[in-house]
């Protein structure tokens, strides 16, 4: 929940001015819902795609204040589902999340399904169980042949900079969980990491086997930092 519509437009203009298309590298921005429509007219989709931060699981109806995937499908290519802030601030359940994943797919939007454990769950050795439950729950409405269409984003809650007492996740910590996740998803399913990613640590995370990209949080609000992360990703890919 950052930037007015005008500020979002200026930010996107700055990105597009400096961005160059990179073969094999997908760059996505996820502005607030109110900015999606004007930015969809401004964006150069050869350089950058748009994502929604959330959606409702019904296609239409009397659900005041909600925005459906049906309404979003002409504006975005992606939608973030089950972000830790949606799970823990707004108490979204696995049932809510699985229905949103299914809504995205039937509306030809690629869902980015976020999963991750809290500090206490990690301390009590529950990481594998939490990851398994969130994965299987989020994908339970997706036919097996379509599960590779869902992007999985591992974001350990204890490593997110906006969380009190957050700690930086080491590549070793991340690699252990990536191996767990890979046991439960198709081999060709894209897998991202998100957790206080910045230009200094992006390369370390991107070189972890099994990771295909990054879900960038606070650093993406600063155009120069986001552009630096994109350059790091391009170098690693090359």
The residues assigned a catalytic role are: 83, 155
Contact 228, 201 (CB under 8 A): no
Contact 133, 94 (CB under 8 A): yes
In angstroms, the CA 233 to CA 132 distance is 28
Helix (H) or strand (E) holding 138: helix 127-138
For residue 232, give the nearest of 196, 195, 197 by alpha carbon: 197
Residue located via tokens 């990481």: 127
Cβ distance 52 to 86 under 8 Å? Answer: no
CA atoms within 13 A on the CB side of 34: 9
């Amino acid at each position: 929940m950052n930037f007015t519509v005008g500020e979002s437009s200026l930010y996107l203009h700055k990105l597009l001015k400096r961005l160059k298309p990179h073969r094999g590298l997908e760059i996505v921005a996820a502005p607030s819902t109110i900015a999606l429509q004007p930015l969809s007219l401004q964006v150069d989709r050869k350089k950058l795609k748009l994502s929604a931060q959330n959606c409702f699981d019904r296609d239409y109806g009397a659900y005041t204040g909600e925005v459906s995937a049906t309404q979003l499908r002409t504006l975005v290519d992606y939608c973030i589902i089950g972000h830790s802030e949606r799970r823990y601030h707004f108490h979204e359940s696995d049932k809510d999340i699985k229905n949103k994943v299914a809504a995205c797919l039937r509306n030809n939007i690629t869902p980015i399904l976020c999963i991750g454990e809290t500090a206490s769950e990690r301390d009590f050795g529950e990481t594998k169980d939490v990851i398994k439950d969130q994965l299987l729950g989020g994908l339970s409405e997706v036919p097996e042949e379509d599960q590779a269409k869902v992007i999985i984003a591992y974001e350990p809650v204890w490593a997110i900079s906006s969380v009190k007492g957050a700690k930086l996740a080491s590549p070793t910590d991340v690699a252990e969980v990536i191996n767990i996740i890979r046991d439960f998803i198709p081999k060709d399913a894209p897998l991202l990491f998100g957790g206080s990613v910045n230009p200094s640590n992006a390369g370390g995370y991107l070189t972890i086997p099994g990771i295909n990209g990054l879900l960038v949080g606070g650093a993406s609000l600063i155009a120069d930092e986001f552009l630096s992360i994109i350059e790091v990703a391009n170098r690693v890919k090359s």
